[in-house]
Every structure is written in structure tokens, then in C-alpha cells.
Amino acid sequence: MTCRFPLTFTIQKRIRKMKELTAKQNEFVEELISRMTLEEKIGQLNQASVSIVGGFDVSFPELIEMNADGRISNEEFQRILSNADRDYHEEEIRKGMVGSMMVSDPEDCNRLQKVAVEESRLGIPLIFGLDVIHGFRSVYPIAIAEAGAFDTDLFARTAAMAARESRTQGVAWHFAPMLDIARDARWGRVSEGPGEDRYLASAFAAAKVHGLQDDHSSTENYVAACMKHYMGYGACESGRDYNTTSIAPHLVYNHYLAPFAAGAKAGAKTVMASFNDLNGVPCTANSWTLRKILKGDLGFEGFVVSDANAIREVIVHGYAEDEKDAGIKSVNAGLDMDMGTEIYLHNLAAAVEEGTVKMEVIDDAVRRILSVKVWLGLFDHPYTEEAAMHRYDVLPAEHLALAEEAAVKSAVLLKNGTDGTPVLPLSKDAKVSLLGTLADDRENIIGAWAMNWREEDCVTIRAGMEEIFPSLQYFKGFGPVTAADELDAARKDIDDAVAYGDVIVAALGEPGEMSGEASSRASIIMPGSQRQLLGELMEKARAAGKKVVLLAMNGRPLDLSWETEHVDAILEGWQLGIRMGSAVAKLLGGDAAPEGRLASTFPACVGQCPIYYSHPNTGRPGSRSKFTSRYLDAPYEPLYPFGYGLTYTQFEYSDASVTEKADSFDVSVKVMNTGSRSAVETVQLYMQDVSASLVRPVRELKGFAKTSPAPGSCETVTISLAKKDMGFYDNEGTYLLEDGKFRFYIGANSRDAALAAEINVKF
Ligand code: BGC
């Protein structure tokens, strides 16, 4: 038997009223709309960018382009920006032509807000938005690292802290969480999101939305979330940013949509449409993803903003003839707010007059935007109080502690010694040589997409380790960018590091700007001459009988196959934020045991990309024999699977069992700590629908739980899987629960989880 359910979760009303608003607030919105002119309505749909003016031979957009294509460096660009006069569009705000801006200085926010509230005809406040991707002032681990903590409570707490910090600076809207399922390590934006898996990404989405939005004890404690980039952006062909995407509808429904659906269910107030075209239609003007799925099936009542300047790009995609056409197609498709192009501002009034855009479409968009402003309390509290502005002049201890906790929980131990002899944790009395430019630098612990961090809050790797290892010596050595004329000095440092240390900790990897937007790579090994110099270090260390620990710092899964074969231990440190140094030092010194897992498969070589654990089986699954799905010149298995991570003790799994209940299956397993210290284990439940009307993945994560049995003892972990969650969507978006054979796997990661039972299920 097959049970069928539509994707439609909520019944649509003709006029959408935001659920959380009181009847009086909804009335207020309606009354306000009834008093607005068409121009004022369109003004609300316009997010103006602060532009720079005067004294330049080139326009601001061209300057951005020059920075993007490398004609001017980031430093040069920043210098021009900080010296330039800015146009904050006060006149347009006064005329009611601006609904939102991207500004983060509280005094600028207040000044502009005053123009909107006190000098425009209707006094509608602006909503200020910003990219707060992994923390505001307190920068936390990049999302792909934090997701690996498998800790929804942590996800929510870091989000809540970021909300409070940003709101004191006038920012009431975060362009986060980023929820793109990403399976291609070449894509630089894998750093910004929760990884490859729909279940983990959905848990991350819901927790982030709750953390950002739910504390209404004061308007200073919450912001509106913006789920992005909707949708399928992470599936860009060949891992090249902004590239085209082709995703079968069932994969959209089952995988790419899942975190957005979870975030929408958690109440996310806004969504950002993505840059890519999906199956031939740019997501900026895609009525299937926006009107049908998001606003229709999911019943999303918030508003949708474009990505930066994306409405103009609808023309470049080849989907609209000119700006007016692009504006009409976008707004009709359900794109409510224009980020940065002013195309709505200049074209929608004429489109309404000639009937190509209906007034109801404009009203619906305005209603959504005003409802979010009301929900944020902006009409009653439009300004940032002086006291709030300075609340975090000195970052409180609890903020620093949370940043450190998140960093500790997100690092992943990939390798610890060979032949069963662990190298980590290091003895605190050991003579440690710390090597590498990344170890003594603040910017590269931060990661792409953090703008409001301050140097004084940061602990570098070097500073953190010097605290814990009194005999540590630092050697600059080499890093991602080591010029030819620095090589001699680097080699001398290698010699000195080997001569001094009992153990050499080499902090190597990628600089922060090598991941994030517009940062795709065709090679995913450690950049520059790092692998070669690490090879030289290894030879010398081997000759001297010294151990080498790699502290990897990167914004994407790297191909660490060579390193795995040669170095003694690997701690995947990602970019863990302002307290990375103290966190890493605690882990290396054993004050904390690693507990992070990989939220993304680590390929064995770039040619495997895209690679992910929940793939279909194919008719000829990879094996040693020739006519199977494999490579002639590389393994088909990844280097490290999704969910993988070691710690300083060992856990043994036994007695897995599955019990059927009326509406669920309880999957239990005994976890024994066979080592000599305590640590946290993340037990993972996977399922396979063995035969179905559409081929299903070989394994799908369906739940996880943490356990921490004391050394020598055992705990039973039970993860419950609701029967209603065992189905899948077909290509029409119908959810199917099909009777048949299912396999349940439970264990430490997507590869090693062992078969607990195979059961014939009837729904
Ligand atoms: C990025 C978005 C970001 C926006 C605003 C775009 O280039 O794709 O993720 O939110 O800029 O800064």
C-alpha cells in the first residue's frame, strides 16, 4: 500500500495575514496599506544600497566589479570606501521610496530611521539587514564546521547571541541562515552552510530560526531570519559559483527544499532567492519555487528578497528582455523585495498601470514586508537606544565563552596516530614547535562573511597554545601564500622547528578569502607550496624521530589524502571564529576531547566531486571489478565519510535492535566507552528504503543522539524514527509512504553505522 500526502501544509487564505500578529496588528497593516499611494507601496519593495559618490572616475558598481575581478585589491577597495562620500538616499527615504537598507552602524541607522519615521508622509520605519552568517561581533565557527557539532541547542544559542549583538547596532534582519545543501567541495560557499545532508541541515535550519527569532522578552533580543539561497544554489554545475543548476523535482523536494521547509515551519520571516537558474528559470523570477512551493505549498507568510542586484541578472540569464521585463517577471513570480537594483522602483508603477502587474501582487508584497516590520516592533521601537549601542563595547565573558564552546565542539579529529598509538592529546610539558603563518594571524581564524569582529576579541592559535604549553616555540615557516623569496627562510624554520620540538604542530590550510562567495577552486588540495613543504617537514621529522600534527584550517572539505597517509595526526580546525586559538589549544592539550563530526564528505581527490553519502545505489555500485561505477585512477570511496570524527577514547557499539511501535520504530544500541577518558559520542541513525517507486539513497540520516558513557561503562541509546518520516516525495511533490523492506543502521558515521535490522514495513 502507498499513502499519499500533498506538499501543501497549510490552507491558503486569499489575503494572507501573518499568524503571529494580533488581530489589531493585522488591522493596523491593512489600514496602513489602504492609505498608501502606489509609489509608497513600491517604495517598501525597494532595498537601497548605500552608494559612494564624488571624486571618482568610475561608478560604484564598476568599482565593485574591479574589486571582484581583481583589478583592485580588497584593501584598496576598503580604503576607497572608507574615504569616500556616501549616498544614503535620504531624499528617497523622505519620499517613501525606500523600505530597507543594508547598514550596520547604529548612528547611521538611527539617522536614516529618523528621516523615514519623522520626515516621510506615512512614517514607516526602515528595516536594516546585514550578512550575519556566523556571528556578529562574537564570530563563531563557519557554518559547515558548526553544523558538525550536531548540537541543535548550540546552533540556537549562537544564533540568539548574534541576534542580540546585532540588534544593539540597529540590524534587525540577518541574511542567515544559509541553507544550501552542498555536495561539491570546489564551491567556495560550502563554508557558509550546514553541509550535504537534508536531515542535519533541517535541524540546523529550525534551530537557527528559533535562536534568531524567538526571544521576544525585548525587541532588542530578536531579529528576522532570512533563509537563503532559495533554491538549489549549492548544486551549481562543476562547483563554479553562480553556475546553472539542473535538479530533478524529486531531488528538489526531498533534499534541497528540506531545510527551507524546516525553517519555514519554525517561523522564518524572510527568504532570499538565489542567483542561479534552476532547470532553466532564474530563481529570482521562478514562480514554481516562489509562488507554488514556498508561498503556496509551504504556506510561507513572510517576504522574499532578491539576492544582490539579481533582478538585473534575470536579463543576463536570458530570461527577460530589459529591466522592466525583469521586474515584472520577478514580482509576478513572488519576489517581494528588490535588493539593490531600483528596478521595481522605476518600473512597477507603469506595469501596474498597464495591467502587466496586478495591484493585488503589489499589495501582497507590501503586506508581507509591513507585517515583518510590525512583528519586529519597528513601529514602536524604531531607534537603537544609546545604552544598547555601547552594551558590548567590551564583549562580556559569556559571549566569549560561547564562542569558545562552539569552537571546541566543532573541530574534528580525523586521525590520531598510526598502529593504534595515539599522538594526541599532547602532554602540556612537551616541547611543542608550532609552525605556520596561519597560526599567528587573526583574519584567518575568522572565515569569510564576518564583518563586525574586533581584533581584541580574538585568540590566535599561537596565543591560545602559548597559554597551555609553556615550552611552546613558534616558527613562522610557511602558509597558503609563501613567495619564492621566502622559501629559504621557511626551510630554515622547518629545520629549527624539527630541532626544537618533541612534536611539531603545523597549522596549514586556506586563507579566509579562499572560501565564501565567488571563491570556487578547481583544486582542493592545500594551496600554494604547502604540501611540498609539509613533505620536507615530514622527511626531517621522520629522520629525527619527531611527530607531526596537522592543524587544518580551511573553509571547504580539502583533499587531505596525502596528509592522511603521511602525518601522525590531523585535527580539522576549519575556521572556528574569535576563540579558535583557545579552543584548539584545549583540544590539543586534552582539556577537552574532540566531538565534532564532518557535516560534509571529504573527497579522496577533486575528481570525485560532487560526492555525498546519501547517493542512489546505481545498477553497478562501485567495487573492485571493472564494469562498476568507479574510476580507473582513483578510489570511488571518499577519504572521510559524512558524520565521521574521532576522539580521545574509543566507543564500541553492540546489541543493536529495532522495536516497532504503533507510529514509530525505536532503534537502540549499546555504546561502551572502552578507553580511559570521558568524551562525547554522536550516535547516528540511518535508514534505507530498499525498493521503492523512485530509487532511494543507500543511506539517509534519520536521527542522532549524544552520549557520554564513563570510561569502562556502557549506555544504551535509543533513537526513535516516526513512521511518517520514512517516506519521500515524488516528482510532483506528493509525499509517499510505501510499504516494503527497510534497513536500519546505527553507529558512529554514515560509513560505519552497522545494520541493526531489516524489516518489512506496512504503513
Ligand atoms: C550574497 C548573499 C548576501 C548578499 C548581501 C550576495 O552577493 O550572495 O549571500 O546576503 O550578497 O550581502
Grid coordinates belonging to 192: 557558509
Residue 9, pLDDT score: 45
Long-range own/partner contacts, residues 489-492 (CB < 8 A, 24 or more apart):
490/533, 491/533, 491/536
Please say if the pLDDT value at position 626 is more than 90.
yes
Give distance in angstroms: CA of 540 to centre of ligand 1. 45
180 lines ligand 1 (CB under 6 A): no
Torsion sign, CA atoms 561, 565, 571, 573 = negative
CA atoms in the 13 A half-sphere facing the CB of 124: 30
CA 694 to centroid of ligand 1, rounded, Å: 35
Cα–Cα distance for residue pair 116/125, rounded to 1 Å:
6
| Residue of minimum CA distance from atom 7 in ligand 1 | 308
Which parts of 334-420 fold into alpha helices (H)?
A: 343-354, 359-375, 386-389, 397-410
Q: Is 174 a pocket residue for ligand 1 (Cβ < 6 Å)?
A: no
| Ligand 1 pocket member 738 (CB < 6 A) | no
Alpha carbon of 516 to ligand 1 centroid (Å): 10
Is cis: bond before 229, omega within 30 of 0?
Answer: yes
Ligand 1 contacts CB of residue 192 (under 6 A): no
Judge whether residue 2 has pLDDT over 70: yes
Adjacent-strand bridge partners of 106? none
The pLDDT of residue 251 is above 90: yes
Answer yes or no: is the C-beta of 313 below 6 A from any ligand 1 atom. no
683 close to 719: Cβ distance less than 8 angstroms: yes
**Does any ligand 1 atom lie closer than 6 A to the CB of residue 319?**
no
| Alpha-carbon span 336 to 364, nearest angstrom | 8
Task: Identify the pLDDT of residue 8.
Answer: 55
Q: Locate 472 and state its grid cell.
A: 611552546
Model pLDDT for residues 507-545, shown as the tens digit of each residue: 999 999 999 999 999 999 999 999 999 999 999 999 999
How many angstroms does the Cα of residue 289 sit away from the middle of ligand 1?
A: 19
Over 120-171, what HEC string results?
Answer: CCCCCCCEEEECCCCECCCECCCHHHHHCCCCHHHHHHHHHHHHHHHHCCCC
Nearest-CA residue for ligand 1 atom 11 is 308
Q: Are strands 46-48 and 277-278 parallel, antiparallel or unpaired?
A: unpaired
Nearest protein CA to atom 5 of ligand 1, as residue: 308
Distance CA 226, CA 269 (A): 7
**Which residue from 307, 341, 515, 520 has its CB within 8 A of the most atoms of ligand 1, so it is best to mutate?**
307
Whose C-alpha lies nearest to ligand 1, atom 12?
131
Distance CA 90, CA 97 (A): 10
Cα–Cα nearest to 656, from 664, 671, 668: 668
| Separation CA 713–CA 722 (nearest Å) | 29
Measured from the Cβ of residue 420, the count of other Cβ atoms closer than 10 Å reads 7
Supply the residue whose CA is at minimum distance from atom 2 of ligand 1.
307
The finding on whether 175 has its CB within 6 A of some atom of ligand 1 is yes
Which atom of ligand 1 is the closest one to the Cα of 275?
Answer: 8
Q: Outline where 501-558 has alpha helix (H).
A: 530-544
Q: Given this model, what pLDDT does residue 52 score?
A: 73
pLDDT in tens, 703-726: 999 999 999 999 999 999 999 999
Segment 542-566, tens digit of pLDDT: 999 999 999 999 999 999 999 999 9
The region, left, alpha or beta by phi > 0 then psi within -120 to 50, assigned to residue 203 is alpha
pLDDT at 61 over 80: no
Residue closest by Cα to atom 6 of ligand 1? 308
- pLDDT tens digits, residue range 573-601? 999 999 999 999 999 999 999 999 999 99
Distance CA 144, CA 185 (A): 11
Is the Cβ–Cβ distance between 728 and 696 less than 8 Å? yes
Contact status, residue 743 vs residue 757, Cβ threshold 8 Å: yes
Q: In sequence order, what are the beta bridge partners of 270? A: 226, 303
Distance CA 442, CA 706 (A): 32
- The span from the CA of 599 to the CA of 412, in Å, is 10
Tell me the per-residue pLDDT of 230-247, one tens digit each, with 9 for 90 and over: 999 999 999 999 999 999
Q: How far apart are CA 464 and CA 587, in angstroms?
A: 11
The percent of residues in the chain predicted with pLDDT above 70, rounded, is 97
Ligand 1 centroid to Cα of residue 449, in Å, is 9
What span, in angstroms and rounded, lies between the C-alpha atoms of 528 and 481? 6
Q: Which of 175, 189, 283 to mutate to test the pocket of ligand 1 (most atoms within 8 A of CB)?
A: 175
Mean pLDDT of 255-273: 98
What's residue 10's pLDDT? 40
CA atoms within 13 Å, Cβ hemisphere of 731: 5
Kindly state the greatest CA–CA separation across the chain: 81
Instruction: Return d(Cα 34, Cα 28) in angstroms, integer.
Output: 10
- Ligand 1 atom closest to Cα of 229? 9
Say if ligand 1 is within 6 A of residue 228 CB: yes
Count other C-beta atoms under 10 Å from residue 161's C-beta. 22
Residue 226 Cα: closest atom of ligand 1: 10
In short, whether 572's Cβ falls inside 6 Å of ligand 1 is: no
Extract the C-alpha cell encoding 658. 529495532
Task: Report the candidate in 492, 489, 475 with the shortest Cα–Cα distance to residue 434.
Answer: 475
Residue 473: strand pairing partners? 433
Q: Which residues of 691-727 are buried (b: 16+ CB within 10 A; e: fewer)?
A: ebebebbbbbbbbbbebebeeeebbebebbbebeebb
Report the Cα 449 to chain-centroid distance in Å: 10
- pTM of the full structure: 0.96
- Ligand 1 centroid from CA 176, angstroms: 10
Q: In what order do the strands lie in the sheet with 651-660?
A: 651-660, 664-673, 714-722
Closest residue to atom 8 of ligand 1, CA basis: 307
Reported as a single tens digit per residue, the pLDDT across 443-454 is 999 998 898 999
pLDDT more than 90, % of the chain? 91
Pocket residue to mutate for ligand 1, from 102, 130, 131, 191, most atoms within 8 A of Cβ: 131
| 157-194: pLDDT as tens digits | 999 999 999 999 999 999 999 999 999 999 999 999 99
Distance 525 CA to ligand 1 centre (A): 27
**Catalytic site positions:** 307
Amino acid 412: pLDDT? 98
CA-to-CA distance for 683 and 747, rounded, in angstroms?
6
Distance CA 6, CA 27 (A): 32
Distance 716 CA to ligand 1 centre (A): 45
Total length of the chain: 763
Q: Which residues contact 462 (CB under 8 A, 6 or more apart)?
A: 434, 439, 440, 474, 581
Average pLDDT, the chain: 95
Could you tell me if the CB of 131 is within 6 A of ligand 1? yes
